[in-house]
Amino acid sequence: MSDHPMWRELSAKDLGRLCPSAAVKTMRHRAEVYAQGDRCGSVFGICDGQIKLAQVNREGNELTIGLLAAGDMFGPGLADPRETEAQESATARGTVSLWKVPADEWQALLVAVPTIGVRLIRAYAERQRQLERRLACMAFQRTETRLAETLRELSGGFDRRCEHGFGQHLRITQQELADLVGATRPVVSTILNRLRDQGILGYSREYLCVRDIASIERLLRQQ
C-alpha cells in the first residue's frame, strides 16, 4: 500500500496509522469502481493498471472523458469530503490495483504529511495542462494531428509491452480513442486503417498496438 508514488516516503505502518480504513483492492477488467450518480465519499489511488472515466447522457450515449494510469488519484472525495453524487463513472481497463480511503481520512493524511498535498496539486496542474492542450488541439489542429498528440500522451503512462508482435500496446477501443481525439469513430478508423496498411500499428477490438510512436507523429505531421 505504501508503494504508491503519492506517499512514497511513508511506511506501511505510518500509512495504516493515518488511514486505518484504507485498503487495496484488485478489480478485474471492466469492473465498475463507481457509477455516474452513485453516492460516494471515497478517494482512490491507482497502484497499478488503468481507469476509464466516462459520462453518459440522458439518451444513454457514453463519452470517454479521461484515462488514468498508475499514480493518479481520483474520486468524488477529492473535491468534497462529504458523500456526494459522482459526476462520472470509473471503470477498470484491464486488471487494476486500487487504494481506497474515506475522504475524511484522506484529509487527515494531507494535514499530517503536507508534501502529499503538494504532489497532488502538481499532478492536477499537469492534468489541467493536458486538458488545455487537448482543447487547443481540437480547435486548431486537423484530426490526424490530434490523433498523433493523443497517442503520444497515452504512450507516456498507459502503454504495455506488446504481446502481439509490436513494440507496445495501448488498451483502448476505437470509440474511446475517438472520444479523446474529438472525432467520430469512422474518421479515426479510416486513419488507423491507413497506418495499419503501412505496418506502423495494428489493432484489435480492445487493443491498439504501436510499433513506434515517433513514426506515427512524423507520418501524420507530413500529411
**CATH number of the domain to which 24 belongs:** 2.60.120.10
Nearest C-alpha neighbor of 64 from the set 185, 208, 204:
185
Q: What is the pLDDT of residue 158?
A: 46
Do 175 and 68 lie in one domain? The reply is no
Overall number of domains in the chain = 2
Amino acid at 166: F
Q: Say what the pTM is.
A: 0.85
Do 54 and 127 lie in one domain? The reply is yes
> For the residues 76-86, what does the mean pLDDT come to?
85
Do 22 and 89 lie in one domain? The reply is yes
| Nine-digit cell string for 158 | 498507459
Q: What is the pLDDT of residue 219?
A: 64
Domain boundary among 134, 162, 178: 134
Do 13 and 116 lie in one domain? The reply is yes
Do 130 and 151 lie in one domain? The reply is no
Do 118 and 9 lie in one domain? The reply is yes
**CATH number of the domain to which 189 belongs:** 1.10.10.10
Q: Which long-range contacts does 106-112 make (Cβ < 8 Å, 24+ apart)?
A: 106/19, 106/43, 106/77, 106/78, 106/81, 107/81, 108/18, 108/19, 109/7, 109/15, 109/18, 109/19, 112/18
Q: What is the pLDDT of residue 6?
A: 78
> For the residues 50-66, what does the mean pLDDT come to?
93
> For the residues 34-50, what does the mean pLDDT come to?
93
Are 71 and 96 in contact, with CB atoms under 8 Å apart?
Answer: no
Do 204 and 116 lie in one domain? The reply is no
DSSP 25-38: EEE-TT-EEE-TT-
Do 157 and 205 lie in one domain? The reply is yes
Domain that holds residue 168: 142-221
Q: What percent of the chain has pLDDT over 70?
A: 88
**Cα 47 from Cα 222, distance rounded (Å):** 38
Is residue 180 pLDDT above 60, yes or no? yes
Q: How confident is the model at residue 197 (pLDDT cuts 50, 70, 90)?
A: confident
> For the residues 74-101, what does the mean pLDDT come to?
91
Is residue 93 pLDDT above 70, yes or no? yes
- pLDDT tens for 118-164 read 999 998 998 899 889 888 988 898 898 888 888 878 876 444 555 54
Q: How confident is the model at residue 165 (pLDDT cuts 50, 70, 90)?
A: very low
Question: What does the CA dihedral 152, 4, 81, 83 come to, rounded to 10 degrees?
Answer: 80
**Cα 166 from Cα 201, distance rounded (Å):** 7
